């Protein structure tokens, strides 16, 4: 061992001269010029073992429930940390549910549905390149990674709009609306002429029973359709959700506002996602908080209190059941009418 390396190892908690290229005692990265990868993620010329990196070292990734990982000496990303109280990542648009079935987009970007409506089977509904899915009643529509629409069920296929789309929302009465790349809305269905679709621009969409709601580019809310609930709150919102009889929206700080007749979130706090129960079963709302915990409230006792205790990254509500994506990408559903997800399904 050279004299310089010997001195660095002896005084690893102190800052060495720049010619020696050692990490300081606070664990901050050195320039890595003298570092050699050691065992157990420590560098030969590192400071505190397992907390420093050589040249190009990056911070460890956030753990599954928010704890920081460690950084190894080679400069690669650290391993996932233990469970903590940080923020869980939220997945948008990859899970949705209707009447007796649910659909999810798998890690291969293929759409997989489980359960089935009375007039069609949702099993093995798979097509590569899907980016988002929306389900309600006995229908679902998906938007591909290149903005193409794909629908199945009771939604009228012959009237699918042309264009490039980023969002789609299916209503429980087999109407649907999609958000085009110019932020305008196009809606279709047997009774869509009664909806009086607005010509303004939007950034988010949700559909209920006989209505849809959208967020304008400035975050304000507008609803349309013959059954649109009144009393939409003023202000700016970042997400919008709808069920048969009500709608809810989330502000940037995670607080919720709901309007219409139904079950609004009873849990206090802030949320990253909401799922409003649809269909003929009793109304309920499930809320996903920023730690990945799910709470359900409302009138359906078969759903309330049945959510898994493991943290989740996405939730969806159907008719008498709800589903969620776990942090490992697997899915589970709960409630009296819940279909069973395929064991092999993984969203990521």
**Residues of the chain predicted below pLDDT 70:** 1-88, 117-126, 156-158, 262-267, 279-282
* CA distances (Å), origin 190, targets 56, 122, 160: 59, 22, 12
Task: Check residue 192 and give its pLDDT.
Answer: 82
Q: Which residues contact 51 (CB under 8 A, 6 or more apart)?
A: 27, 70, 71
Final residue belonging to a domain, choices 86, 118, 137? 86
Confirm whether 344 is domain-assigned: no
Assess whether 78 and 220 both reside in one domain. no
Confirm whether 183 is domain-assigned: yes
Confirm whether 64 is domain-assigned: yes
Assess whether 312 and 198 both reside in one domain. yes
Assess whether 26 and 133 both reside in one domain. no
Task: Check residue 279 and give its pLDDT.
Answer: 59
Note whether 322 and 333 are within 8 A (CB). Answer: yes
Task: Check residue 78 and give its pLDDT.
Answer: 34
Confirm whether 348 is domain-assigned: no
Final residue belonging to a domain, choices 86, 111, 132? 86
Assess whether 41 and 145 both reside in one domain. no
Alpha-carbon torsion 236, 206, 188, 260, what sign? negative
Confirm whether 205 is domain-assigned: yes
| Antiparallel, parallel or unpaired: β 176-180 and 95-97 | unpaired
Final residue belonging to a domain, choices 67, 86, 105? 86
Confirm whether 343 is domain-assigned: no
Domain that holds residue 119: 95-334
Backbone angles phi, psi at 9, to 5 degrees: -65, -35
Joined together, the tokens standing for residue 181 give 């790349």
Assess whether 156 and 305 both reside in one domain. yes
Assess whether 101 and 150 both reside in one domain. yes
Assess whether 103 and 63 both reside in one domain. no
C-alpha atoms less than 13 angstroms from C-alpha of 37 in its C-beta half-sphere = 10
Assess whether 211 and 244 both reside in one domain. yes
Task: Check residue 86 and give its pLDDT.
Answer: 57
Confirm whether 346 is domain-assigned: no
Assess whether 132 and 260 both reside in one domain. yes
Assess whether 45 and 192 both reside in one domain. no
Would you give the distance in Å from CA 198 to the centre of its chain? 27
Through-space distance between the first and last CA atoms of the chain, rounded to whole angstroms? 47
User: How many degrees, rounded to 5, is the angle at CA 226 between CA 223 and CA 230?
Assistant: 45
**Residue with tokens 């009873």, as numbered in its chain:** 266
Helix (H) or strand (E) holding 294: strand 294-298
Q: What CATH code is carried by the domain that includes residue 128?
A: 2.130.10.30
- Cβ burial 229-264 (10 Å sphere, 16+ → b, else e): beebeeeebebbbbbbbbbbbbbeebebbbbbebbb
Assess whether 271 and 221 both reside in one domain. yes
Task: Check residue 23 and give its pLDDT.
Answer: 35
Q: Which residues pair with 136 in a beta bridge?
A: 139
Alpha-carbon torsion 266, 271, 246, 238, what sign? positive
Assess whether 156 and 282 both reside in one domain. yes
What's the number of domains the chain is made of?
Answer: 2
Confirm whether 159 is domain-assigned: yes
């Amino acid at each position: 061992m050279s004299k310089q390396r010997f001195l660095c190892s002896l005084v690893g908690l102190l800052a060495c001269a720049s010619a020696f290229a050692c990490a300081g005692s606070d664990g901050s990265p050195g320039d890595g010029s003298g570092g050699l990868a050691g065992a157990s993620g420590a560098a030969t010329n590192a400071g505190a073992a397992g907390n420093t990196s050589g040249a190009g070292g990056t911070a460890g990734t956030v753990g599954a429930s928010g704890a920081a990982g460690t950084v190894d000496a080679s400069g690669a990303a650290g391993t996932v940390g233990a469970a903590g109280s940080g923020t869980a990542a939220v997945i948008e648009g990859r899970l949705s549910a209707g009447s007796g079935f649910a659909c999810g987009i798998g890690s291969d970007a293929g759409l997989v549905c489980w359960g089935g409506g009375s007039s069609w089977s949702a099993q093995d509904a798979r097509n590569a390149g899907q980016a988002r899915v929306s389900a309600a009643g006995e229908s679902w529509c998906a938007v591909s990674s290149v903005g193409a629409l794909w629908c199945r069920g009771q939604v009228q296929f012959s009237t699918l709009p042309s264009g490039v789309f980023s969002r789609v929302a299916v209503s429980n009465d087999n109407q649907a609306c999609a958000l085009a790349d110019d932020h305008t809305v196009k809606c279709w269905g047997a009774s869509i002429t009664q909806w009086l679709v607005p010509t303004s621009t939007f950034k988010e969409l949700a559909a209920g029973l006989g209505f849809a709601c959208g967020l304008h580019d400035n975050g304000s809310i507008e609803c349309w359709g013959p059954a649109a609930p009144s009393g939409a709150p003023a202000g700016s919102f970042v997400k919008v959700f709808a069920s048969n009889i009500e709608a809810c929206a989330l502000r940037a700080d995670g607080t919720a506002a709901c309007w219409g007749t139904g079950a609004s979130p009873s849990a206090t706090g802030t949320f990253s996602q909401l799922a409003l129960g649809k269909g003929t079963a009793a109304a309920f709302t499930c809320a996903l908080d920023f730690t990945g915990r799910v709470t359900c409230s409302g009138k359906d006792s078969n759903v309330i209190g049945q959510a898994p205790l493991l943290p989740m990254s996405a939730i969806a509500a159907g008719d008498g059941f709800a589903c969620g994506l776990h942090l490992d990408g697997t899915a589970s559903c709960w409630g009296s009418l819940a279909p069973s997800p395929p064991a092999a399904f993984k969203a990521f």
